[in-house]
Structure 1
Amino acid sequence: MKLRKLSNFFLGLPSFVWLVVFYAIPIILVLIIAFKPVDSYGGLAEGWTLDTIKNLKNPSYPDIIWRTFWQGVVATLVCIVIAVPVSYQLCRLTAKWKNLFLLLIIVPFWTNFLIRIFAWKIFLQSNGIFHRLLEWCGILEPTTNLLYNEWAVLTVMIYTYIPFAVLPIYAVAEKFDFSLLDAAKDLGASSFYAFRTVYLPGISKGIATAVMVVLIPAFGAYLIPSLVGGPTSELLGDKIAQSVFTNRNLPHASALSALLMLAVFLPMVAIYWIKKVQDAKAKQKNDGKGAIR
């Protein structure tokens, strides 16, 4: 027993060290730097201060925080809505077509992230083919600009993060027993009802993973709004980058980063707590049925 515990300890040690070095320590440093004063050269001065936290009362920040929140949530929801049926269809394909479509989903990862954003910038520009096509169809006016607004940022975010939603959902859906859907239909359930009550709960872990994998980078995005957004479409990630590279104010950037981490951490805790309560109720219900029998 002791040997097994010792072997488990050494097996888990590299992962633990990795998490501490690359996650726990940086988070602690960010929280510490947020309470440090900044000197005239952009470095950290001696002592401690709450001025950085007070500076978060900037009147422009509520709009930026709200924009970051709603764009991240909408991008995540759209990615999930697209990824669920895509993963379902992928699992129903033959091996040949499945591998082909998986390759098409993975191919964008082989291209530089910056190049893909610039490709969208060219695609949406006023003298581009897409803009001219919409003009020709009478959908857009010649003066309408598809770039440098919130919707351009949202569109590129959805395009960028869809593969991150499809892959974890597909990984879980591939192990799903699709005969359960046929059984539900045999018992009188419609296709949609079987999909909603049998398939979706069966892949709930994949959906939860996809939500986290998409939501976290969506909240922290700054390259996409910097390149295809405008002054009215800044996100919190833009302000963090400006504080580091332009204003040379690390404490302010750390305070904004801590705020962003809190915005991501609280929903995760809420989801975990809700799931724990649901599991406890389900277990209590099953125990009650067992006692009656």
Structure 2
Amino acid sequence: MKRSEWAPTLPSLAWLAVFVLVPLLIIFVIAFRPTLPAGGVGEGWSLDAVRSLADPAYPKLLWRTLWISAATTAACIGIGLPVAFCLAKLPPVWRGRLLLLIVVPFWTNFVIRVFAWQQLLHAEGPVARTLRALHFLGENDRLLGNATAVVVVSVYTFLPFAILPLFAAAEKFDFGLLDAARDLGARPFRAFRSVFLPGIRQGIVTAFLVVFVPMLGAYVVPDMVGGTDSQMIGNRIAQRNFNDRNLPAAAALSGALTLMVLGPMLIRRRGKEAQP
């Protein structure tokens, strides 16, 4: 980097160092501290929190976190792609209005929106009553307290995060390429799959990252609409932190989750840099 580029870059670097790197270092340091009997962080160093990661319950918890995050991400991208495609082809006036409708939910508190879903999916809520009337839901069946409810509410929560980067990429796409593909004999879906999707690849990657990575640490949605069989790593971290006051164990789990997210990204970056 040239010297002339350092001045405008320093504020961003300072912000990242203070609010990202320093908290991460503190988390990793706490993970190697002992836990006080009354809760909190003790003096000295200990590997007890790191050893606790070998708990047999964690692999199952990790697998549940991965598949719920992957299912939510796939649903968000699957819904967001046609929405972004249609938005990009609309006139600018209608495009702005529909984008506003997508952003409007952000104006309401996140917890209130999840609580609204909790009431909708309640055993005596309108959705459950309608499904029972149509005989799609048994009298003893519940819509809350399971992984499906977590995925549904998470899709609602993260869908705008997927639509916006997909739309940003679709807006720059040359739709004349689709017409050319159809003129050459490609069916609409084949043209969409072989021409449009590769053309907005960067938007798809961005949508994947902004949904999948936050979902790995999500705990509010599973806590409010899920059950004991749909808890994720974020719920266990919150439990270790707030209920058990075992901060080193919570830090060890958080550090492991951070490495799990950053590891593949760094390997992928190294592989790209190694390419000629």
Aligned pair 1:21/2:33, yes or no?
no
Give the Cα separation in 1 of the matches to 2:94 and 2:127: 30
Give the Cα separation in 1 of the matches to 2:75 and 2:264: 18
Unaligned runs of 5+ in 1: 285-293
Aligned pair 1:89/2:76, yes or no?
no
Task: Name the residue aligned to 2:203.
Answer: 206
Structure 1 residues 1-293: aligned runs within 5 Å: 5-272=2-269, 280=275
Aligned pairs, how many? Answer: 276
Greater alpha carbon shift after TM alignment, 259-268 vs 44-53: 259-268
Give a deviation string over 1:43-62, Cα, whole Å, max 9, x none: 22222111111112222222
Shift of 1:271: 4.5
Q: Which amino acid in 1 is paired with 2:265?
A: M
Give a deviation string over 1:1-60, Cα, whole Å, max 9, x none: xxx943311011111111111111111111111111112232222221111111122222
Moved over 4 A (4+): 273-277
Give the Cα separation in 2 of the matches to 1:41 and 1:72: 34
Change (3 A) 1:275 1:185: farther
Give the Cα separation in 1 of the matches to 2:135 and 2:234: 36
Change (3 A) 1:188 1:126: same
Q: Which amino acid in 2 is paired with 1:133?
A: T
Give the Cα separation in 2 of the matches to 1:81 and 1:170: 13
Q: Which has the larger radius of gyration?
A: 1
Give the Cα separation in 2 of the matches to 1:274 and 1:138: 53
Instruction: Work out the percentage of aligned pairs sharing the same amino acid.
Output: 47
Give the Cα separation in 2 of the matches to 1:272 and 1:187: 37
Shift of 1:177: 1.2
Shift of 1:94: 1.5
Q: Which amino acid in 1 is paired with 2:193?
A: R
Structure 1 residue matching 2:143: 3-state secondary structure:
coil
Give the Cα separation in 2 of the matches to 1:170 and 1:243: 39
Change (3 A) 1:247 1:115: same
Give the Cα separation in 1 of the matches to 2:271 and 2:207: 18
Unaligned runs of 5+ in 2: none
Q: Which amino acid in 1 is paired with 2:188?
A: S
Q: Which amino acid in 2 is paired with 1:109?
A: F
TM-score (norm 2): 0.95
- Root-mean-square deviation (CA), in Å? 1.7
